[in-house]
């Protein structure tokens, strides 16, 4: 019989041997986040992150709601407030099956997740706000926006969606949630996941169940036609992403009735980690623009300087 205490000791030792940047990233994904506000389901569906600065009056003027990629948690965005415009209050989606909701089974279908998030977010829509989502998080942000519109709730002022193909496009990739572990690890390696992480049996045992559920949620997603969204839409991609290409991203234009902008950042699928400063600069640009307007479309698909 395996000794749980011994296994935890081995896990801590392996994490300690990782490079500092990878170790920090893993700890943030695995750590428990302290709830900061209740949800209708007894656990926080949205967590307010510590504020670095909210202006001279201490009063926030805009909220940023962040949605993580498959297998990730809201703690990925824990330090974002430090590099965003003054007055920004950062909230992160806390999804079932991870961090403060670790005891809950992860959801494998989009509809019940959107219903949970819709119910939880409505008390926090009293300020201008922006949605940001990376990969699976982009799809969640898009569908939650459409749910808010159907309910007649205040919509986000802007959407910033990263690393996910336009939702109406067919998925050109094979479904991967059911693949054997070793094959799934090969796919994750090509997308930018650290080899050291993938080779750790303990880490994979902790991460794979939630990751598989999230991948199933994406693989079983079915797009339903609706009117394009009226707010400005910015789409970001990685110039070395092997699963989501530039044309996949450009297809989002069909979902935008308002201004549309596409920008490619240096990096693979997880450029949220390889180009964090450039990504946060793009998000900061959209937050700063919530009080203004943009004219027309911008299609800036040249890689940005690193």
Residues taking part in catalysis: 135
Q: Report the distance separating Cα 192 and Cα 8, nearest Å.
A: 26
| Three-class SS state of 144 | helix
Q: Is the Cβ–Cβ distance between 305 and 292 less than 8 Å?
A: no
Give the DSSP H/E element, type plus range, for residue 265.
strand 260-265
Q: Tokens 């809950």 label which residue?
A: 104
Q: Is the Cβ–Cβ distance between 137 and 160 less than 8 Å?
A: no
| Class of residue 72 by CB neighbours under 10 A (exposed 0-12, middle 13-18, buried 19+) | buried
Any residues with CB less than 8 A from the CB of 163 and at least 6 apart, and which? 69, 134, 135, 138, 236, 237, 238, 241, 244, 269, 270, 271, 272
DSSP notation for 94-156: --TTSGGGTTSPPP-SHHHHHHHHHHHHGGG-SS-EEEEEETHHHHHHHHHHHHHHHHTPPPP
Count the residues in the chain. 306
């Amino acid at each position: 019989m395996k000794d749980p205490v011994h296994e935890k000791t081995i896990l801590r030792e392996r994490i300690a041997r990782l490079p500092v940047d990878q170790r920090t990233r893993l700890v943030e994904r695995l750590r428990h986040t302290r709830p900061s506000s209740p949800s209708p389901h007894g656990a926080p569906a949205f967590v307010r992150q510590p504020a670095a600065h909210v202006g001279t009056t201490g009063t926030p003027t805009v909220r940023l709601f962040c949605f993580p990629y498959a297998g990730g948690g809201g703690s990925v965005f824990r330090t974002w407030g430090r590099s965003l415009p003054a007055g920004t209050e950062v909230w992160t989606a806390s999804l079932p099956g991870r961090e403060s909701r670790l005891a809950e089974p992860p959801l494998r279908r989009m509809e019940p997740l959107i219903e949970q998030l819709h119910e939880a977010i409505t008390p926090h829509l009293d300020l201008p706000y922006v949605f940001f989502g990376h990969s699976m998080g982009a799809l969640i942000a898009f569908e939650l926006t459409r749910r808010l519109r159907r309910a007649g709730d205040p919509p986000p002022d802007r959407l910033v969606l990263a690393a996910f193909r336009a939702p109406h496009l067919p998925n050109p990739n094979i479904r991967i949630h059911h693949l054997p572990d070793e094959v799934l690890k090969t796919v994750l390696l090509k997308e930018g996941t650290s080899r050291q992480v993938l080779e750790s049996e303990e880490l994979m045992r902790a991460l794979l169940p939630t990751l598989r559920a999230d991948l199933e949620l994406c693989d079983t997603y079915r797009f339903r036609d609706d009117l394009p969204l009226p707010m400005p839409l910015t789409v970001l991609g990685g110039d070395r992403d092997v699963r989501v290409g530039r044309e996949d991203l450009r297809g989002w234009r069909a979902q935008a009735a308002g201004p549309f902008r596409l920008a490619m950042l240096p990096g693979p699928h997880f450029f949220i980690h390889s180009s964090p400063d450039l990504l946060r600069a793009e998000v900061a640009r959209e937050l700063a623009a919530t009080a203004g307007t943009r004219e027309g479309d911008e299609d800036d698909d040249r890689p940005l300087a690193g």
